[in-house]
Amino acid sequence: MTEGRADAVGIHDDEAARKRLRRRYAAERRFRAYGLGAIGIAMLALVVLLASVTRSGLPAFTQHELTLEIHYDAELLDPDGTRDPEVLGRADYAKPVRAALASLFPAVEGRRERRQLAGLVSKGAVFELRERVLAAPELVGTREPVRVPLSDEADQYLKGKIRTDLPESQRKVSDRQIAWIEDLRGRGLVHQVFNFRFLSSGDSREPELAGIWGAAVGSLLTLLVTLLLSFPVGVAAAVYLEEFAPRNRWTDLIEVNINNLAAVPSIVFGLLGLAVFLNFFGLPRSAPLVGGMVLALMTLPTVIIASRAAILSVPPSIREAALGVGASPLQVVVQHVLPLALPGILTGTIIGMARALGETAPLLMIGMVAFVVDVPDGPLAPATALPVQIFLWADSPEPAFREKTAAAIMVLLAFLIIMNLAAVLLRNRFERRW
């Protein structure tokens, strides 16, 4: 025995053993370094992505405005003095804007130059004046200073995005326009303000007027429908499969199918939606209701799988104890199993919803890839969604839409962060450890 022990010490104590030990420690350190490196690469990619999106998107949250002394000329807007909303609605509001600009630069003459001067101000100025007057007809005949948005080209120039070293023909802002803008800036009439239009209006073909709110409401309505459909159906399916269903060939088949559906490309669900909801049931195109139904089909497998896992992780002793004191199977599920499984179910649902939020492909088939100016007012009104809005802006020729695209991505990311944060909070709030 003693000899044997001496041998054992020898094996673990000689030079070869120490070498082996060093090698194992080194392997351990390398392994940790690989892990750290992997995290580092992932973090770096994330930081680069966020930084580049933020850098190009931040300018979209500000907008340059010009203070114009607008004269709501009664002769022009309402010659008969009726103050009839219909007359006021049809009036030409471009004229007061042009008159105000002309009074700032009385020396500008000629059709071409006047057009160039008018090009400094956004077309939205005309729409906004119209809305102002329609909301308050008593304005007609008065004068007031109004802040109107500058056009996207002028705004891009002020944000330093236009290369002035190029010949005039190769940029969208002419030398004269630059001189006018600098003059206006010198007179203190140009202000850089927070771009409320971006957060409060629907889409527009003018980059300076385009807003994300229409798409955000569209996404919210779509997700609401998705949640209302996929959560109850998914949880009910999971409860039945996990708690009540017998184990046989049929339930195995259903299980295989659910797992398969979770991996089906989303465009397939879009085609299904087109065939079933639009062509068969005759639901309207571009409606968040249909979008939500399609996305619910897509998220259902995720919700079911997550819910089943959560229900499975509730210890059987809970069920047995409840049954033991006389609870019915329904009471066991509703009063004990579900509350305990809820954090896991919610996490799975929210992750499924976050995926649904980022989908465009299924929405393409049911007509939600569309130009919609009006902010949708219900689940049947035509709407678009956040990722679709990003896609549409990225495809627009005007350079000013580039910063809008990045800003829309920031809004989408904010939505995702809020949803994931909610998932974490809910889990921490309700989680029970065994």
Token readout for 345 is 């179910």
Q: Which stretch binds another protein (CB under 8 A): 249-257, 283-291, 314-322, 408-416?
A: 283-291
Token readout for 13 is 């104590």
Torsion, CA 196, CA 201, CA 206, CA 208, rounded to 10: 0
> Which letter does DSSP use for residue 326 in this model?
T
Distance CA(414)–CA(409), nearest Å, equals: 9
CB of 131 to another protein, least distance (A): 9
CB of 332 to another protein, least distance (A): 14
Say how many residues touch another protein, by CB under 8 A. 51
Please say whether the beta carbons of 57 and 410 come within 8 A.
yes
Whose Cβ is closer to another protein: residue 79's or residue 89's?
89
Verify binding: residue 25, another protein, rule CB under 8 A.
no
Candidate residues 96, 301, 348, 379; the one interacting with another protein per rule CB under 8 A = 379
CB of 186 to another protein, least distance (A): 26
Which residue shows structure tokens 């009006």?
374
Residue window 331-370: x/- pattern of binding to another protein, with contact defined by CB under 8 A: ---x--------------------------------x-xx
- In DSSP notation, 15-67 reads HHHHHHHHHHHHHHHHHHHHHHHHHHHHHHHHHHHHHHHHHHHGGGGEEEEEE
Which of helix, strand or coil describes residue 140? coil
Whose Cβ is closer to another protein: residue 267's or residue 416's?
267
Please say whether the beta carbons of 254 and 241 come within 8 A.
yes
Candidate residues 98, 132, 172, 427; the one interacting with another protein per rule CB under 8 A = 172
Verify binding: residue 261, another protein, rule CB under 8 A.
no
Exposure on the CB side of residue 159, measured as CA atoms within 13 A: 25
Token readout for 153 is 């080209």
Candidate residues 145, 196, 371, 418; the one interacting with another protein per rule CB under 8 A = 371
Q: Which stretch binds another protein (CB under 8 A): 66-74, 102-110, 315-323, 396-404?
A: 396-404
Whose Cβ is closer to another protein: residue 255's or residue 398's?
398
CB of 433 to another protein, least distance (A): 27
Candidate residues 229, 337, 340, 410; the one interacting with another protein per rule CB under 8 A = 229
Candidate residues 125, 133, 212, 225; the one interacting with another protein per rule CB under 8 A = 225
Whose Cβ is closer to another protein: residue 88's or residue 411's?
88
Whose Cβ is closer to another protein: residue 54's or residue 396's?
396
Query: CA end-to-end span of the chain, whole Å?
Result: 46
Token readout for 79 is 């010659």
Distance CA(361)–CA(267), nearest Å, equals: 5
Distance CA(388)–CA(287), nearest Å, equals: 14
Verify binding: residue 389, another protein, rule CB under 8 A.
no
CB of 101 to another protein, least distance (A): 17
Distance CA(259)–CA(302), nearest Å, equals: 9
From the number of C-beta atoms within 10 Å of its C-beta (0-12, 13-18, 19+), residue 279 rates as exposed
Token readout for 381 is 């009104």
Verify binding: residue 160, another protein, rule CB under 8 A.
no
Please say whether the beta carbons of 380 and 291 come within 8 A.
no
From the number of C-beta atoms within 10 Å of its C-beta (0-12, 13-18, 19+), residue 74 rates as middle
Verify binding: residue 294, another protein, rule CB under 8 A.
no
CB of 415 to another protein, least distance (A): 22
Whose Cβ is closer to another protein: residue 103's or residue 367's?
367
Token readout for 265 is 């490309």
Whose Cβ is closer to another protein: residue 88's or residue 306's?
88
The CA angle 168-174-175, to the nearest 5 degrees, is 85
Candidate residues 104, 262, 276, 373; the one interacting with another protein per rule CB under 8 A = 373
CB of 202 to another protein, least distance (A): 9
Q: Which stretch binds another protein (CB under 8 A): 3-11, 20-28, 278-286, 410-418?
A: 278-286
Q: How many CB atoms lie within 10 A of CB 347?
A: 20
Residues between 49 and 88 with contacts to another protein, criterion CB under 8 A: 86
Residue window 97-136: x/- pattern of binding to another protein, with contact defined by CB under 8 A: ------------------x-------x---x--x------
Question: Considering only CA atoms, which of 291, 420, 418 is closest in space to residue 362?
Answer: 291
Verify binding: residue 374, another protein, rule CB under 8 A.
yes
Footprint on this chain of another protein (rule: CB under 8 A) = 86, 89, 115, 123, 127, 130, 162-163, 166, 169-172, 204-206, 225, 228-229, 231-232, 235-236, 278, 281-287, 289, 334, 367, 369-374, 379-380, 382, 392, 394-399, 402
